[in-house]
Amino acid sequence: MTVLQTALTGLRAVRGNRLRSLLTALGILIGVGALIITVGIGLGTRTSIGSRISRLGTNLITVTPGSVTSGGVRTGLGSSTTLTMDDAAALGDRSVAPDVAGVAPVVSRNNAIMVAGPVTWTSSVTGSTPDWLLTNARYVDSGSFITNRDVRDHAHVAVLGPTTAANLFPGGNAIGSLVDIQHVPFRVIGILQPRGAQGLFNPDDLAVVPISTAQGELITGGSLTSVQRILVSADSRDAIDSATEEVDDLLLQTHRITDPAQADFTITTQASILSTLDATSTALTLLLAGVAGISLLVGGIGVMNIMLVSVTERIAEIGLRKALGARRSDILRQFLLEAAVISAVGGLLGVGLGGASTFALDRFTSLVTVFSPPVAAIGLMIAAGIGLVFGVLPALRAARLEPIVALRGS
């Protein structure tokens, strides 16, 4: 028999036993569906991370206290106070760091209680300097941003994110109004342009105040000089590496550290965040694909199981085919292809299920998912391959049946 004829025989057998074939294929169906959904989520996460980071501005360099070195993870990463206002001031010196366009020291706290008249709202509050706008690639929508003078004067002025403003001032009269942040009164002087929610973190829900005011009155336990991180903006995308180097050299120098491995700060660029997130999402994708793989394995065992039953049931058919001149290889191929066809049909349904779920997830949940045709094709091939692999044992059993024994089997 030719492969085509054998495949047709297989298809006919599958059609003739629709319910059982479907149940057999269920494991494969779920496996391939899961594969497509999980890879879809993985790819979606990756693309959304990519677009998020390009929106953030790729020129951003972030300096955080503490370090992750070959010596191990230092405790209190990000909470130790090795970065100071002086560091920020030094980085702002164009003659020392020519590739640095802007420097914004930052302190912040989450869950700050804000009260405006009858409205109470909980949000995060950030203390920084005018360069916060530049380094974050943000813009003011109305009003103005905090100035160097506000920082120097410990002014009680605040710039609100659009979400915060809308919640605190439903009437829209935010600018010029008073808001109590952690019981400290601030006057609203500006509202930021919206950036759009990004997963769990909403960059439009915050208040920005002068860093000096925040250090003195909002951040409990902090000092007036230490900062939680320093945002540095490189002159251009191409200047990121040299700017990073300048920041590193300067901070090592001011911190009097000779061995860079002992640095008490960590420099992160968008590129490095991107690659970290990329690696994380790759790991996640692989993990999820592994789960899908296990269900495919279970599905394959199901196929083997049913094929063994099928061989036992069709002993008379096998005997007859042998009596009519089928060789072992013909029978082997027939059952192999039948298993492959069942699995491929399951795979096809799985692609349908996975595709539909991918679109549904993308549309009806906050997850970003991507349907990838190559992955669907691979899923199909894997399904058929599993049918072939797990069909071997039943097919061999069928092929080895002696014709007389098989004929008597009826």
Partner 1 sequence: MTGGEHAVLHLEKVCKTYGAGETIVRALRDVDLEVRRGDFVAIIGPSGSGKSTLMNILGCLDIPTSGRYLFAGEDVMRMRDDQLAHIRNLRIGFVFQQFHLLKKLTAWRNVELPLLYRRASRRRETAMRALGMVGLDHRVDHTPNQLSGGQQQRVAIARALVTDPELILADEPTGNLDTTSTRDILAILEQLHKDGRTIVLITHDPEIASVAPRVVRISDGVLTEEAVGTAIELDGRRARAAKPRTARAPRRRAASPMIVEDAASA
Binding site for partner 1 (CB under 8 A): 1-2, 5, 12-13, 16, 316-317, 319-330, 402-404, 407, 410
Please say which residue, 74 or 328, places its beta carbon nearer to partner 1: 328
Instruction: Name the residue nearer to partner 1 (CB basis): 46 or 397.
Output: 397
Q: For the chain, give the number of residues.
A: 410
- C-alpha–C-alpha distance, residues 23 and 14, integer Å: 11
| Smallest separation (angstroms) from partner 1 to the CB of 408 | 9
Closest CB to partner 1 among residues 195, 333: 333
Can you point out the beta strands (E) in 182-289? 184-192, 206-210, 229-234, 265-269
Q: In the bound complex, what is the minimum distance in angstroms from residue 394's beta carbon to partner 1?
A: 19
> With respect to partner 1, which residue has the nearer C-beta, 12 or 187?
12
Q: Which tokens in the block code for residue 152?
A: 């120097």
Q: What are the Cα distances from residue 164, in Å, to 188, 189, 212, 242?
A: 11, 13, 22, 37
CB of 313 to partner 1, least distance (A): 12
Q: Is 59 helix (H, G, I), strand (E, B) or coil?
A: coil
The nearer residue to partner 1, 13 or 304, going by C-beta atoms, is 13
Minimum Å gap between C-beta 351 and partner 1 is 28
**Rounded to the nearest whole angstrom, what is the least distance from the CB of residue 322 to partner 1 in the complex?**
7
Compute the distance between CA of residue 217 and CA of residue 181 in angstroms, rounded to an integer: 10
Nearest to 85 by CA among 20, 129, 35: 129
| Cβ distance to partner 1 smaller for residue 84 or 334 | 334
Q: Are 97 and 233 in contact (CB under 8 A)?
A: no
CA 48 to chain centre: 7
Compute how many other C-beta atoms are within 10 angstroms of the C-beta atom of residue 31: 30
> 99 or 317: whose CB is closer to partner 1?
317
The structure tokens 């901070």 sit at 251
What interhelical angle do 18-56 and 373-400 show, nearest 10? 150
Least Å distance, CB 324 to partner 1, is 5
| Residue 326 C-beta: closest distance to partner 1, Å | 5
Nearest to 14 by CA among 326, 331, 346: 346
